[in-house]
Structure 1
Amino acid sequence: MTTLLNLKQATKTIQNESDTNTTILDHVDLTIRKGEFVTVLGGNGAGKTTLFNSITGTIELTSGKLYIGDKEVTRLPEEKRARHISRVFQDPKMGTAPRMTVAENLLLALKRGEKRHLLPRKMKAQRDSFQTLCASVGNGLEKHLDTPTGHLSGGQRQSLSLLMATLTRPELLLLDEHTAALDPKTAKRLMELTQEVIETHQLTCLMITHRMEDALKYGNRLIVLENGRIKLDLNAREKAQMKLEDLFVLFEEEKAQII
């Protein structure tokens, strides 16, 4: 299976006010292969968001290397990595432009990673495809093509964020607790949509979740982070044998060690 993402001894340290260094990502070795759907668990401060920020280039590693395919991108800026990576955040407000309509947001996403030019936007040519795309979500989003996204519900806005992130079929999709701000029913529907999109387009995905049930139900690999390190890395077969009670025990052990 082709390697898509490779982190070698990835480390991130920050300096505190007391001039001491805190390690939030600790010599992580991680290989993600094309077609994997990896769920990521970990308590507060485990390093989950730092891992994602390191992959996207939002923060720069203190040491270590990061590769996309066979190309090292360790020092490549975030905007250039955006050609390969899409991300959906926990906050529905972060993935969309609130004053732009649903259709305008989708058109913007269609141009992701391209150089900007002063050209006609060609909205009319895309409108029917946007209508069909939004209708596939099942929450009435297709009725709001001309509605500013700031007027949508949280679930509709997050569904739009997912559509935007996957519109141009990214090499790597990062889902950063993208259902955490939603009510259980809406979160369930969004996860079903997520599964559909990933399977239909055969995307490679890393998904941070705080819902242990989702971590076991979705994906073909499970990673557990603790104190900036990978504590557990289960393949599809090992993950299928893991029960919810096993994960609870794992996190109880982690709490006990902290205390």
Structure 2
Amino acid sequence: MSTVLELKNATKRIDNGLNETKVILDHVNLSIAQGEFVTVLGGNGAGKSTLFNSIAGTLSLSEGELFVNDQNITHFSEEKRAKYFSRVFQDPKMGTAPRMTVAENLLLAMYRGQSRGLRLRKINEQRDFFTKICSEIGNGLEKHLDTPTGNLSGGQRQALSLLMATLTKPELLLLDEHTAALDPKTSKQLMRLTDQQIQEADLTCLMITHRMEDALRYGNRLIVLQKGKIIKDLNKAEKEKLTLQDLLLFFEEEREEIAID
């Protein structure tokens, strides 16, 4: 399988303002192959968000390189990287334009990563298609094509964000704890939808989750971050042997190390 994403010695340092430098991503080497669905676990301050922000271009690396399909994009801007990556955030408000309707948000997503000159919207030509894909979610979103996104429930808004992120197939889908702000029932529904979207479109995905059950149930690879380093990288066969107790043990070991430090 071809390598979609490769990080080589990815490092991020920040100055905390006290003449001290903190390493929040520490020489991370990571390769993700086409079709892999990688779940990411780690405690607070492990470097999960920094990893995602460094991939998406929100943060620049202090050291190291980033490749997509063997192309070096280390110095690409966040806007230039948008043609390769799509992202669903933890906060339902971040992935959509609140004053635009559901249909308008979907239309915007159709042109992700493309140049956006002046053009006719032709939104009515896409209405049947938008109705079809929204109805497949099963939460009534198809009835709200003309509703401003800010008026949707959190679950509907996250489902819309997921649709927008996968409407044009990205090289890599970044799911940044995208169920964390939802109630347990809505979270389970969205995870089932997420898995369905990934499997049907054969997407390559990197998903941060704080729900250990989801880390076990979904994906074909699991990595665990601690202090900016990957301390576990388990393939599908190794992951299938894991229990919830095994995952809890990883974090018990982490707490013990912090106490010793």
TM-score by length of 2: 0.99
The offset of 1:73, in angstroms, is 0.5
How far is the alpha carbon of 1:96 from its aligned partner?
0.2
Cα distance in structure 1, aligned partners of 2:177 and 2:118 = 36
Q: CA deviation at 1:256?
A: 1.4
* Match of residue 43 from structure 2: 43
Who is 1:142 aligned against? 142
SS class of match (2:233) = strand
3-state DSSP class of the match of 2:19?
coil
- String of CA shifts for 1:211-241, please: whole Å, max 9, x gaps: 0000000000000000000000000000000
1:155 corresponds to? 155
CA distance in 2, matches of 1:216, 1:202: 20
Name the structure 1 match of 2:242: 242
- 1:232 is paired with a residue whose SS is strand
Q: Which residue of 1 aligns with 2:194?
A: 194
Moved beyond 6 Å, runs of 4+:
none
Residue 19 of structure 1 and its aligned partner are, at CA, apart by 1.4
**1:105 matched residue in structure 2:** 105
SS across alignment from 2:156: helix
Q: Could you tell me how far 1:51 is from its partner in structure 2?
A: 0.3
Which amino acid in 1 is paired with 2:116?
R
d(CA) in 1 for partners of 2:183 and 2:247? 23
Deviations 1:1-31 (A, max 9, x none): 1000000000000001101100000000000
Q: What is the CA–CA distance in structure 1 between the aligned matches of 2:256 and 2:143, rounded to whole Å? A: 50
In the TM superposition, 1:6-85 aligns within 5 A as: 6-85=6-85
How far the C-alpha of 1:171 sits from its partner, in A, is: 0.8
Residues 175-254 of structure 1: matches in 2 within 5 Å? Answer: 175-254=175-254
**Offset, 1:253:** 1.2
In 2, Cα distance between the equivalents of 1:216 and 1:29?
23
d(CA) in 1 for partners of 2:204, 2:188: 21
- Equivalent AA in structure 2 for residue 9 of structure 1: N
- 2:5 is matched by which residue type in structure 1? L
Q: Could you tell me which residue of structure 2 aligns to residue 256 of structure 1?
A: 256
How far does the alpha carbon of each residue in 1:195-214 deviate from its partner, in whole angstroms, 9 at most, with x for none? 00000000000000000000
**Residue 118 of structure 1: how far off its partner (Å):** 1.1
Partner SS state of residue 121, structure 2: coil
Question: Under a length normalisation based on structure 1, what TM-score does the superposition of the two structures give?
Answer: 0.99
User: Counterpart amino acid of 2:62?
Assistant: T
How far has the Cα of 1:257 moved from its partner? 1.3
Partner of 1:94, secondary structure, is coil
Partner of 1:123: 123
What stretches of structure 1 of length at least 5 have no aligned partner? Answer: none
Residues paired across the two proteins, number: 259
Letter paired with 1:77: S
Counterparts of 2:116 and 2:67, CA distance in 1: 26
The 1-side partners of 2:152 and 2:165 are apart by 18
Q: Secondary structure at the match of 2:93?
A: helix
